[in-house]
Chain A
């Protein structure tokens, strides 16, 4: 655990969010002070990451839904739709992402229908 301050959380963004983070000149990982526990949704909103661009979040190495409570000191990563392979099953993505229809159909393709 590289978090020095137990109030801080480590945050990472994968796939296209990696570039979003870097364009904002955020370090890897981004450290954010947290005074009290918040949900993944609240953290995404705080960082201005659209909810429908997130399939799951990792919290301390486990795939979780956006409703998961993040505690000060946690390690968090946002994962957009697009993780390939049976790892979507083996890491438990499928029980966490059912609310986001864009986990299964690309946003622009869905809007075309």
Chain B
């Protein structure tokens, strides 16, 4: 019988319960969002006692299925004020699933000013005092060393970094990956929520747990898992390009399309793209050798391996999970042209525990506001490191793009619901703009990421600069994404399961064989719709309306070169995205 663990930080009471009946068929984002909608007061302050933090593995987490090690983390967002599901790799999800833990809920708030570590093992849950050396600005890399030494090298770890301790709106929750490096539930400030509960870390030790979760139909599962893996490995996106170039392969492509936001969204193209592209990243890692790795998996069972270890000139590891959106924001948007400078910034943001999209976009905004010079990677690194102190300037940057823009007196502030717009200009790639505007999460490219077959019919023929088909494209991408986010699967599986139909069928077959169900593709779509409706209802009760589903006004009157496109969707057209 799966467990539902609740930790009350007010009383320090721990309850290990049976899974409530209504959550029995849910996992991942479907579970976190339904739980938040059920139990969190929509109008509560995100850092107050009434907010709750929930961790949930996906439907297929803990199985041998490829790409199934993702974890959903939910709560009311300290950054956006909306519901939030933030998704991460690492080792945590698979350990939870193998231990039969359906969800971990952290609620309440201690009266005392003291940080704790929640330790979960097969024999139960305990609350320890946090080691003094990891409190008060200790970087996440060091904190993992300390916690490994105390609890054992194989434990899984979720951390509120210094930014989380200081409850900054961009604080992420950092997760240990299989090699003691960092992955992040990055967006929406859930690290601040964890910090508000005075939880510095959650440590999970699966010693004694089964090697895999129980399967209703093991042979059928094994057969479907094989088909699924083969689909991933034979597709050019998931079987080749992501492993070779990572997500940073998009720099050249989106730049060529004129949709790479540059110099705080004043252009859609740069001329130094070759310095920061995925192709250059690959060549640099290969040439430097040492600890560098062109490809690397963020969790056990990852066969796409889109992550990498980026080394310095001497071959020493700097950072991993060096994503396109981070490189874009610091490179194209902030004008930092040295990939090494960007790598050190990526490491520093991981170390201090902030979202590397929101803070990187905030750096570009700070440059436009005159706080630091354009393109100055060293100055940017200095401010990021100030977050760990924190200095007033560090706190401002850790406040995110919306706060920096406001304090600098700017109108060109690229956020929706106070969350920074990522690396695709909505004027030149209009379908993405609709997702930014309407997603329940605040501007988030991963909210419309997964692709289902019905999208191919609608979206495969859109013109990026025209409106036709874009509403249907955004709607269906968001529905499919909400479903995939509930499976524990990496969103990148979408590329293969669209083009190779047996791959999609195998995904459904694996869920059925895991639980003894007979779901169809339509059921998966229905799940996605239901998740979005629950999230939308929470946001409405929290005070959000259609009027919040809008892009910043400057997109309407500042043409974006080279196509000189503007954002021209009417409010009524935008509101059609959620008309289902």
Contacts and interface: CB of A to CB of B under 8 A. Distances in A.
A50 interface: no
Interface in A68-96: 77, 79-95
A25 to B, nearest CB: 15
Interface stretch (B133-141, B221-229, B460-468, B526-534): B460-468
A93 B495 CA distance: 13
A89 B451 contact: yes
Nearest to B243: A82
A61 B256 CA distance: 5
Residue with the highest number of chain A CB atoms closer than 10 Å, among B234, B247, B431, B463: B234
Interface residues of A, number: 38
Contacts of A86: 431-432, 448-449, 451, 459, 477, 494
Nearest to A57: B256
A109 B239 contact: yes
Contacts of B30: none
A89 B459 contact: yes
A6 to B, nearest CB: 17
Given A12-B256, A92-B464, A104-B500, A19 B283 contact: yes
A39 interface: no
Contacts of A93: 460
A87 B563 contact: no
A84 B242 contact: yes
A94 B457 CA distance: 10
A79 B253 contact: yes
Given A61-B258, A61-B563, A90-B464, A81 B236 contact: yes
B250 interface: yes
B468 to A, nearest CB: 11
Nearest to A95: B461
Given A82-B236, A105-B500, A106-B240, A94 B456 contact: yes
Contacts of B279: 14-15, 18-19
Contacts of A82: 236-237, 240-242, 244-245, 249
Contacts of A85: 247, 250, 449, 495
A97 B464 CA distance: 16
A109 B432 CA distance: 32
Residue with the highest number of chain B CB atoms closer than 10 Å, among A86, A92, A109: A86
A15 B279 CA distance: 6
A100 B463 CA distance: 20
B338 interface: no
Residue with the highest number of chain B CB atoms closer than 10 Å, among A2, A77, A104: A104
B473 interface: yes
Nearest to B286: A19
Contact of B432 (A61, A90, A104): A90
Contacts of B473: 89-90
Given A19-B279, A61-B257, A94-B456, A104 B250 contact: no
B257 A89 contact: no
B240 A18 contact: no
Nearest to A77: B256
Contacts of B254: 87
A40 to B, nearest CB: 14
Contact of A14 (B252, B430, B563): B252
A30 to B, nearest CB: 12
Contacts of B249: 14-15, 82-84
Interface string A9-43: 00010111011000000001000000000000000
B500 A89 contact: no
B59 to A, nearest CB: 22
Nearest to B477: A86
A82 B248 CA distance: 12
A105 B256 contact: no
B235 interface: yes
Interface string B494-523: 110001100000000000000000000000
Contacts of B494: 86
A89 B430 CA distance: 11
Given A91-B257, A104-B499, A12 B252 contact: yes
Nearest to A58: B256
Interface string B459-499: 11111100000000100010000000000000010110001
A86 B279 CA distance: 20
Contacts of B39: none
B455 A89 contact: yes
A62 to B, nearest CB: 8
Contact of A77 (B245, B252, B449, B562): B252
B479 to A, nearest CB: 13
Residue with the highest number of chain B CB atoms closer than 10 Å, among A16, A61, A83: A61
Contacts of A84: 237, 241-242, 247, 249-250, 492, 495
Contacts of B461: 92, 94-95
B257 A83 contact: no
Contact of B239 (A2, A55, A106): A106
B233 interface: yes
A7 B252 CA distance: 24
B192 to A, nearest CB: 29
Contacts of B429: 87, 90-91
Nearest to A103: B236
Contacts of B463: 92
Contacts of A80: 236, 241
Given A14-B253, A18-B279, A62-B257, 4 more contacts: A83-B237, A89-B462, A89-B477, A105-B235
Give the 4 A-B residue pairs with the shortest CB-CB distance, closest first: A82-B241, A94-B460, A81-B236, A109-B234
17 contacts: A12-B256, A15-B241, A83-B237, A83-B249, A84-B247, A84-B250, A84-B492, A87-B254, A90-B462, A92-B461, A92-B462, A93-B460, A95-B461, A103-B499, A105-B236, A106-B236, A106-B239
Interface of B: 233-237, 239-242, 244-245, 247, 249-250, 252-254, 256-259, 269, 271, 274, 277, 279, 283, 424, 429-432, 448-449, 451, 455-456, 459-464, 473, 477, 492, 494-495, 499-500, 562-563
